[in-house]
Amino acid sequence: MTQSLRLGVAGLGTVGAAVVRMVARRAEALGQTSGRTIRVTAVSSRDRSRDRGLDLAGVAWFDDPVALARSGEVDCVVELIGGAEGPARATVEAALAAGKHVVTANKALLAKHGAALARQAEAAGVALAYEASVAGGIPVIKVLREGLTGNAVSRVYGIMNGTCNYILTRMEREGLTFEACLKDAQALGYAEADPTFDVEGFDTAHKLAILTSLAFGTEVDAEGVSVEGISAIQPLDLTMAEELGYRIKLLGVAQVAAGGIEQRVHPTMVPKSSAIAQVMGVTNAVTIDADAVGELTLIGPGAGGEATASAVVSDITDIAAGTRRPTFGRAAAALSPSQRVAMQRHEGGYYIRLTVHDRPGVAAGVATRMAERDISIESILQRRSESAASKDPHGRSGQPVPLVLITYAATEGTIRDALDAIAGDGLLAEAPQLIRIERE
């Protein structure tokens, strides 16, 4: 075999420790696969005294990850610190400047600085690999960048955050509120103490921006992603989805649209018959629509030490074997500027839950405002409290009740304009719920 590939692992949290163990455990197989011995020669972490269950005998320890990145003891830097700025960015930039390969799981860093880092890696003639940055152990980066080069991709979408999928699964199966499920997710370690990044969709947006660049050859543009989270979802929405033949998932969706690429993250109703609707709990799934293969769905663990380490070690093995591909599938100079498509121009079906006053003429008033804007209603359902309605001789309580509409394809701007008009008519008791429908 040729000279060993010497790894410097920056960050010894759950994933970093799993990478060190996996490289040691699979040393012989990795060497046979890559034709080169792979070994960890240096590590960096904030707490030197913590017992991680690792044998670090003969491994250099660096308190400063940037010093590790510049060290002559390292050929490839594995950045597992996290964050778009600070030590993570400084470590990756230092490694590339020193002509060292980089493997990272850092979606926030790539979403914000991916294009610049790709140019830096290209100029240095080294690899910048990041399979673990999206969907954990699912090899979606390789599939898009290498496996589907003969295809034109029209859409890529998926469940890319296990925390949100866990919460929605529990809400659906047990009729629990968002708040109750979030509390359980935090107790189980699926959600952070501050869950905003996950439940409000920003984590998914970063991952989607990376997949968009790979799928469509554009510069990474996380700022161009329209983002909504799941905190406003109520048990009633999941119940109504069930009755209508749908299931609610937080999806990241990127697709070709008139004028550019539409990027959006939001709660979505998907047909229960679809493959992605069957993905429950903390599992992730990504579906790719392409001209030659049709629909391809990848399902697997989206997080966790071993699953993420699997993706990291896959990248390391490629580097050891001398495999180096353009960071986002083509030369950095060939990436086209992102052409943003405003969410108002999105066209599709919608689930709309209105909380209206239970009195004569309300449903007709809602329907009129929709018809004025050429919005066709596929179905309409109204729920009334039987106990309250029984007190009124006409079966109307006057109390707030849910009115659910399913529309045929309409633009987002038209739907929101209609909802503004309905609110202006005084028909709503609270803000409406709007969930997009992603049909097969």
Any residues with CB less than 8 A from the CB of 165 and at least 6 apart, and which? 159, 249, 250, 279, 280, 281, 282, 283, 284
Any residues with CB less than 8 A from the CB of 209 and at least 6 apart, and which? 111, 114, 220, 221, 222, 224, 225, 263
Any residues with CB less than 8 A from the CB of 341 and at least 6 apart, and which? 257, 258, 259, 260, 261, 262, 263
Vertex 103: Cα angle to 15 and 65 (nearest 5): 75
What is the Cα Rg of the chain in Å? 25
Instruction: Specify whether 112 is catalytic.
Output: no
Answer for the pair 14, 305: CB distance below 8 angstroms, yes or no.
yes
CA–CA dist 93, 74 (Å, integer): 15
The one-letter amino acid code at 19 reads V
Answer for the pair 259, 339: CB distance below 8 angstroms, yes or no.
yes
Give the tokens for residue 361.
């003429």
Q: Are strands 226-227 and 153-159 parallel, antiparallel or unpaired?
A: unpaired
Give the tokens for residue 363.
């449903």
Query: Which among 107, 207, 272, 391 is annotated as catalytic?
Result: 207
DSSP per residue, 78-132: EE-S-SSSHHHHHHHHHHHHTT-EEEE--HHHHHHHHHHHHHHHHHHT--EE-GG
Distances in whole angstroms, Cα of residue 375 to Cα of each of 8, 262, 348, 434: 58, 22, 11, 15
DSSP per residue, 377-412: EEEEEE---HHHHTTSTTS---SEEEEEEEE-SEEH
Q: What is the dihedral of CA 388, 389, 393, 399, to 10 degrees?
A: 70
Just list the catalytic residues.
Answer: 207
